[in-house]
Amino acid sequence: MNEKTALIFPGMGPSSFAAVGKFMVLDPYVRRLLPIADAALGYSLLDRFYESEEEYSEYTQVAFLVNSLALAHRAEEELGMRPDYCVGPSFGQKAAAVWTGSLDFPDVVRMTAELARDEQEYFATEHADVVTHSVMRVPEHSLDEYLSQLAEQGHWYEISGRLDEGFFMVSLSARLLADFKESVSAMGGYSMATMRPPVHARAFHGLRRRAADAVFPRYGVRAPEIPVIADQDGRVVETAEDMRGMLLDTFDVPIDWPAVVNSLVNLGVRTVFVTGPENLFRRVQCTVRNFEVIAVDPKNTLKKMLRPVRSSSPRAVSP
């Protein structure tokens, strides 16, 4: 079997103008996309992103989308990337839909902004006290025991994602968060980011229904031009119907990243390009253990752009 390549558009983590603004102003690939995004939105994305103080505002989300696609274009044109498969865990699905030709870039820009506003409205009244907290290096049996105790006490929780061995995303009430963090520490694990609004739980089916009824009908989802690997279970997505289903599953179906990795390995993938402002999916052990990982991110790209160009001309010799 010939060795294959996959493109991974990462899920979205906290991203601010302070972290990526300079990259967006200077990067030529971003500059190609910004006028298109501005026209689709009806406002200046950079201006709104600069003013935004929310980690997951519509402006932050669209900026993340633009940066991920710009970095993929850079990988294609400068590194010769030619992916056989595409993956977009969580928010990365949106960039994957553009890259594979399933949706046009202006449409995904508008869809991203609309869904961000819908999500904000939904969680203002539904599950308003719920967060999604990520933990790592947690023995699974210990976590299972703790969560079983929560259920016995009448508390709700859901696993929103499995990212690696001992690495989970758990959705639960914010009132339980402090105790959860203390318990994770006692198990020998580590607490990571807390997401507000929460993500990927069956309890959020109402948000999925809202998106399916009010947003998706305005956008025609096409079959992807290269196969997409679904982040929920590693299945291969090749039809328009399955692509639409995967995009809607992101609201109420948890991520299973090890299943994605297993699927890629079985398909013969040996090299993955990870394009976007993140340091999670490219660093987890199940990724680095199975693939050569080529990360293309704003920070390192900006460093290369600002690196002084050495002159190739010979130095003048004083007489």
Q: Are residues 156 and 10 in the same domain?
A: no
What pLDDT is stored for residue 319 in this prediction?
A: 33
Amino acid code (one letter) for 25: V
* Last residue in a domain, options 195, 223, 247: 195
* Last residue in a domain, options 169, 195, 221: 195
Is residue 112 in a domain? yes
What pLDDT is stored for residue 316 in this prediction?
A: 40
| CATH classification at residue 175 | 3.30.70
Using the Cα atoms of residue 152, residue 156, residue 162 and residue 163 in order, give the sign of their dihedral.
negative
What pLDDT is stored for residue 317 in this prediction?
A: 37
Q: Is 315 exposed, middle or buried (0-12, 13-18, 19+ CB in 10 A)?
A: exposed
Q: Are residues 222 and 288 in the same domain?
A: yes
Is residue 316 in a domain? no
Q: Are residues 250 and 117 in the same domain?
A: yes
Q: Are residues 141 and 89 in the same domain?
A: no
Q: Are residues 214 and 105 in the same domain?
A: yes
Q: Is 71 exposed, middle or buried (0-12, 13-18, 19+ CB in 10 A)?
A: buried
* Last residue in a domain, options 195, 230, 247: 195
Phi, psi of 85 (to 5 degrees): -140, 160
What is the distance between the alpha carbons of residues 25 and 35, in angstroms, rounded to a whole number? 12
Is residue 314 in a domain? no
Tokens 């680095």 belong to 288
| CATH classification at residue 259 | 3.40.366.10
Kindly list the averaged pLDDT for each block of 10 residues, start to end, along the chain of length 319.
90 85 95 98 96 90 97 96 97 97 98 96 95 96 96 96 96 97 96 93 96 95 98 97 97 97 97 89 90 93 79 43
Number of folded domains that form the chain? 2
Strands of the chain, DSSP E: 4-8, 85-87, 130-136, 157-164, 167-173, 190-195, 228-229, 236-237, 255-256, 269-275, 292-296
User: Strand, coil or helix: what is 133?
Assistant: strand
Q: Are residues 45 and 179 in the same domain?
A: no
Is residue 137 in a domain? yes
Q: Are residues 216 and 177 in the same domain?
A: no
Q: Are residues 223 and 242 in the same domain?
A: yes
What pLDDT is stored for residue 283 in this prediction?
A: 84
Q: Are residues 60 and 157 in the same domain?
A: no
Is residue 88 in a domain? yes
Phi-psi category of 120—alpha, beta or left, where left has phi over 0 and alpha has psi -120 to 50? alpha
Is residue 260 in a domain? yes
Is residue 313 in a domain? no
Q: Are residues 237 and 173 in the same domain?
A: no
Is residue 312 in a domain? no
Q: Are residues 91 and 12 in the same domain?
A: yes
Print the domain residue range for 159: 130-195
Q: Are residues 61 and 206 in the same domain?
A: yes
Helix then strand count (H, E) for the chain reads: 13, 11
How many Cβ atoms from other residues are within 10 Å of residue 268's Cβ?
A: 14
